[in-house]
């Protein structure tokens, strides 16, 4: 048994590009792109399993994520994306069972989270980016394969004897369709719950007209007409996009980073891991230069445009820490830089928000902040002299579990007292998975406070003003600063990581629920539970015995 736990394997690198894809084929025909899944059986991320029947592991998902990102930035001309299979006789069999069976609990949970995030990103592209995803089901589409289809906005399926959609996790594996499947059946496609119940307990799935009648797919057509039907639907959607048909994309060059000992360095982001204390100190630098004057300037800057570079770097860092540094349970976020310059960049993002590229940059930042929100790590912000928590960077502090802001200056240092600054970007640009801004979530019971804050745009708020405005948790002065933070860090890293994960997931997302918040908060929690249960993962559990011909002897007690 190969342990998927990082530490026993080389670290996972989330950086890739189409020239290195093993499992996906991206082709573009005018305004319609096709993403064909064609998994290489021997191309698993780890040894110990074969990716049969177009099943996937984290490596397959990393390529999908990269393709989805590139389609948004590199291909403004694409208004619709058809997801399909490159195999003759199967669409996708879902997540690879042997890979799951040999993975640690943490690896499985983290893998599902990343998969969910990518699928939510596809839905965001459909809803907000004018790049609509559709699925062409050209063979059996099971489990995670159907969950991938559910994340698209239109599902067309071949009406033949071989092709069906199914969620066989419960009957075959004793786990859940936990990467969004159950939630999307009910809350996205509004499949009637009793039909969803039957469907989710039926290995062989549903095909043909019943699949349409029950709302599991949108249309079925004869196999011979499948491709034409999918292309026609895609063309309809592409015709409605607001993306520029003749726009030129920007390229996303390889992300540069260095790892020296326990320090990771990107251009704007640095991360220093302190293993003895169990924490990672993440420092984000504001822009080094003034922003471009207009949207054309943003296009010219491309991937070097500070907000985009920042998003890419933070995104990679979060994924790296989550997957490769499981024992680092506390992330301490700091910033440096010049608030005026961040405010100037925020003005560009706000003023040119209708430009397709500027919009993509904002949406990417939104996804990165969401990724931070759903990370199962404690997150503290340290707001000290020299920091730059302004506008877009202030979102980082608002995303933390708590923040410490120095009241005044530090003895023996010249830096002025720290200040926070609000910009328009704090009031709607980056909603959380609950659909609310971080400020609205913060003041759930007092929405008027958010309105009050709108009148303080651009003001420098020192510690006492920030505390009064409710923007920071604690504001120790010079005398208490070091001790208070030291004690908070020591206590935090001594608590049970599991209890913290459950607590943080329960406290971070107040207020309304969305498809996304239901997936992360409800479905994931149930999946995590089941991934611990002997009936699934014990030596005689269904996930372990799958494919051996042996049957599980379940503990029949209901919980």
Q: Is 376 in the site for a copy of itself (CB under 8 A)?
A: yes
63, 117, 169, 504: the active-site residue: 169
Q: Is 209 in the site for a copy of itself (CB under 8 A)?
A: no
Answer whether 269's CB lies under 8 Å from 316's CB.
Answer: no
Alpha-carbon distance of 170 to 178, in angstroms, equals: 10
Neighbours of 13 (CB within 10 A): 13
User: Using CB under 8 A, which residues numbered 305 to 324 contact a copy of itself?
Assistant: 322
Q: Is 40 in the site for a copy of itself (CB under 8 A)?
A: no
User: Using CB under 8 A, which residues numbered 101 to 140 contact a copy of itself?
Assistant: 104-106, 109-110
| 207 or 492: CB nearest a copy of itself | 492
Q: Is 359 in the site for a copy of itself (CB under 8 A)?
A: no
Alpha-carbon distance of 86 to 412, in angstroms, equals: 65
| 203 or 256: CB nearest a copy of itself | 203
Using the contact rule CB under 8 A, the part of the chain among 51-59, 257-265, 359-367, 492-500 near a copy of itself is 492-500
Residue 486, both tokens: 């030291």
| 222 or 512: CB nearest a copy of itself | 512
User: Using CB under 8 A, which residues numbered 173 to 202 contact a copy of itself?
Assistant: 173-176, 182-183, 185-187, 189-190, 192-198, 200-201
Q: Is 492 in the site for a copy of itself (CB under 8 A)?
A: yes
Closest approach of Cβ 529 to a copy of itself, in Å? Answer: 4
Q: Is 393 in the site for a copy of itself (CB under 8 A)?
A: no
Alpha-carbon distance of 466 to 7, in angstroms, equals: 41
Q: Is 372 in the site for a copy of itself (CB under 8 A)?
A: no
Residue 147: active-site member: yes
| 378 or 423: CB nearest a copy of itself | 378
Q: Is 336 in the site for a copy of itself (CB under 8 A)?
A: no
Using the contact rule CB under 8 A, the part of the chain among 142-150, 420-428, 461-469, 489-497 near a copy of itself is 489-497
Q: Is 558 in the site for a copy of itself (CB under 8 A)?
A: yes
Distances (CA, A) of 392 to 248, 300, 308, 366, 546: 26, 22, 12, 10, 47
User: Using CB under 8 A, which residues numbered 496 to 555 contact a copy of itself?
Assistant: 496-508, 510-513, 518, 521-523, 525-530, 532-533, 535-536, 542, 552, 554-555
Helix then strand then coil, % of the chain, to nearest 5? 45, 15, 40
Query: Buried b vs exposed e over 336-373: b needs ≥16 C-beta within 10 Å?
Result: ebebebbbebbebbbebeebbbbbbbbbbbbbbbbbbb
Residue 117: active-site member: no
Q: Give, for 421, the enclosing helix (H) or strand (E).
A: strand 420-421
User: Using CB under 8 A, which residues numbered 231 to 290 contact a copy of itself?
Assistant: 278
Residue 482, both tokens: 């070091």
| Angle in degrees, 0-180, between the axes of helices 58-74 and 105-128, rounded to the nearest 10 | 20
| 77 or 326: CB nearest a copy of itself | 326
Q: Is 451 in the site for a copy of itself (CB under 8 A)?
A: no
Residues in a beta bridge with 404 = 382, 474
Q: Is 501 helix (H, G, I), strand (E, B) or coil?
A: helix
- The pair phi, psi for residue 159, each rounded to 5°, is -100, 80
Catalytic residues: 147, 169
């Amino acid at each position: 048994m190969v342990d998927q736990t990082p530490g026993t394997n080389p670290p996972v690198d989330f950086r890739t590009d189409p020239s290195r894809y093993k499992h996906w084929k991206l082709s573009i025909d005018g305004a319609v792109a096709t993403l064909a899944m064609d998994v290489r059986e021997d191309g698993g991320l780890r040894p110990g399993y074969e990716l049969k029947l177009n099943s996937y592991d984290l490596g397959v998902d990393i390529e999908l994520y990269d393709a989805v990102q590139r389609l948004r930035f590199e291909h403004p001309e694409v208004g619709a994306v058809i997801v399909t299979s490159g195999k003759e006789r199967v669409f996708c069999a879902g997540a690879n069972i042997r890979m799951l069976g040999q993975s640690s609990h943490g690896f499985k949970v983290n893998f599902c989270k990343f998969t969910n995030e990518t699928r939510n990103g596809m839905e965001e592209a459909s809803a907000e980016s004018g790049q609509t995803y559709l699925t062409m089901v050209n063979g059996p589409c099971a489990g995670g394969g159907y969950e991938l289809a559910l994340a698209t906005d239109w599902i067309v399926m071949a009406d033949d004897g071989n092709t069906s959609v199914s969620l066989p996790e419960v009957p075959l594996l004793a786990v859940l369709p936990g990467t969004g499947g159950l939630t999307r059946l009910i809350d996205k496609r509004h499949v009637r719950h009793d039909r969803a119940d039957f469907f989710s307990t039926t290995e062989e799935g549903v095909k043909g007209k019943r699949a349409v009648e029950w709302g599991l797919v949108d249309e079925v057509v004869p196999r011979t007409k499948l491709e034409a039907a999918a292309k026609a639907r895609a063309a309809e959607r592409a015709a409605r996009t607001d993306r520029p048909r003749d726009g030129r994309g920007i390229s996303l060059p390889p992300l540069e980073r260095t790892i020296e000992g326990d320090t990771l360095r990107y251009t704007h982001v640095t991360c220093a891991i302190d293993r003895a204390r169990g924490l990672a100190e993440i420092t984000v630098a504001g822009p080094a230069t003034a922003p471009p004057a207009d949207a054309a300037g943003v296009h010219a800057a491309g991937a070097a445009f500070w907000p985009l570079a920042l998003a890419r770097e933070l995104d990679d860092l979060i994924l790296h820490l989550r997957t490769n540094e499981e024992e680092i349970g506390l992330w301490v976020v700091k910033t440096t830089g010049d608030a005026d310059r961040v405010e100037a960049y925020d003005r560009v993002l706000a003023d040119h928000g209708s430009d397709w590229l500027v919009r993509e940059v904002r949406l990417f930042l939104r996804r990165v902040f969401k990724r931070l929100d759903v990370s199962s790590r404690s997150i503290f912000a340290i707001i000290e002299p020299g920091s730059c928590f302004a506008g877009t960077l202030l979102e980082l502090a608002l995303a933390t579990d708590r923040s410490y802001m120095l009241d005044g200056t530090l003895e023996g240092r010249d830096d002025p007292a720290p200040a926070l600054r609000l910009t328009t970007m704090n009031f709607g640009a980056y909603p959380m998975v609950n659909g609310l801004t971080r400020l609205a979530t913060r003041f759930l019971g007092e929405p008027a406070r958010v309105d009050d804050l709108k009148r303080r745009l651009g003001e420098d708020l020192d510690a006492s003003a920030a505390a009064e405005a409710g923007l920071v948790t604690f504001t120790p002065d010079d005398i208490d600063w070091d001790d208070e933070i030291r004690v908070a860090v020591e206590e935090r890293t001594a608590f049970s990581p599991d209890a913290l994960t459950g607590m943080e997931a329960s406290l971070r997302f107040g207020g309304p629920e969305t498809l996304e918040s239901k997936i992360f908060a409800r479905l994931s929690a149930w999946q995590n539970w089941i991934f611990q249960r002997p009936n699934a993962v014990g030596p005689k559990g269904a996930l372990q015995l799958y494919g051996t011909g042996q049957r599980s002897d379940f503990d029949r007690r209901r919980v």
